[in-house]
Amino acid sequence: MIGGFLGAGKTTAVARLARHLTDRGTRVGLICNDQSSGLVDTVLLRSKGFSVEEITGGCFCCRFNSLLDAADNLRRASAPDLFLAEPVGSCTDLIATVSYPLRRIYGDRFTVAPLSVLIDPARAARILGLAEGRSFSEKVTYVYRKQLEEADLIVVNKCDAHPPALLERLASTIGDTFPRAQTFVCSVKEGTGVDAWFDAVLSMDSRDSRPLEIDYDRYAEGEALLGWLNCTVQLEADAPFDGNQTLVDLASGIRDRVVAQGGDIAHLKMTLDSRDGTGTLSVVSLVGNDGEPDLRESLLDRVDRGELVINLRAEADPAVLESVTREAVTSLSGVRATMEHLEQLRPGRPVPTHRMTQ
């Protein structure tokens, strides 16, 4: 499993590791996970040619049987040698509720790798007291820190976008605060420094994994402060438009409106698929209230239509997220927008199928 809080770079990491394995002749199956349907992650990973199953409606711990079903579906479809699973970005307690049950109930079918947890340096520096700036409330921060506490491998991601001095301080603080975990510094986007982490994941050595001591009431309260929104929109125009710039402008518009309403963005991800048969997507990611839209992948040409998928996670009322998203989409210049699907929610209390502590 490759975990970490919303916006840490999990999907990019899954894609990077999956490509690394595929290039070496290993067949991989990918499993995405979310609280609701209409995932950018699934669209993105399938566009890269990977076999992907999607589990919605709850995290792996609460949809454990669905996790087994997803693995079975992938096994029948593509016979993978290895599964890469990306849990919900607000989920924790994965050792006790996923890793232990897989090893102890289904050990004849699965060997479980160490749990990786990715972090975004800017967000981690604020939460760990190394930098000033607005951060999440105490209850959401509790979930964030619990993710780090249970990690076997902590990956300080996005080293290409932050100064070495900050990365060194962050790695040192993580080593002191969470001494059981191995710490790696890399950029999964650029592929810098990933080899050592990949080797640790593929060692399959999770013998020292330990379950968390966790207060499920605080955990549930922290998750419930997060608003979730997924939507799918059809865009059309009378003349070809720049789909890449449209996504960048839309991301800025949604961010500004969330901030104006007093919310804290965890992660905003969007894709635009022109459906032109090339398999290319425009992909934009934005992390935090002070983040700028990051155009991760680009359409090759102007388009006159496309399917837009928006995934927005923030510490805010889900109804506010719906309102600002509808307003920002409606405000797009030069295109007609038809909303096909929209879900907004707060995550429910986690109720694991299994929880094994020894």
Convert the pLDDT of each residue in 244-272 to its tens digit.
Answer: 999 999 999 999 999 999 999 999 999 99
Cβ burial of 323 (10 Å; 0-12, 13-18, 19+) is middle
- How do residues 199-216 score in pLDDT, each as one tens digit? 999 997 776 678 899 999
Q: Are 230 and 36 in contact (CB under 8 A)?
A: yes
Structural domains in the chain, CATH included, are 2-222 (3.40.50.300), 229-345 (3.30.70.360)
Tokens 């996970």 locate to 33
What would the pLDDT profile of 69-79 be if each residue is shown by its tens digit? 999 999 999 99
Query: What DSSP element (H or E) covers 220?
Result: helix 216-224
Q: Is the pLDDT of residue 147 over 90?
A: yes
Provide the residue type at 268 as one letter: L
Give the alpha-carbon dihedral of 331, 333, 335, 339, to 10 degrees: -10
Q: Longest C-alpha distance within the chain, in Å?
A: 62
Q: What average pLDDT score do residues 116-137 get? A: 95
Average pLDDT over residues 331-350: 95
Helix (H) or strand (E) holding 264: strand 264-273
The answer, yes or no, to whether residue 23 has pLDDT greater than 90, is yes
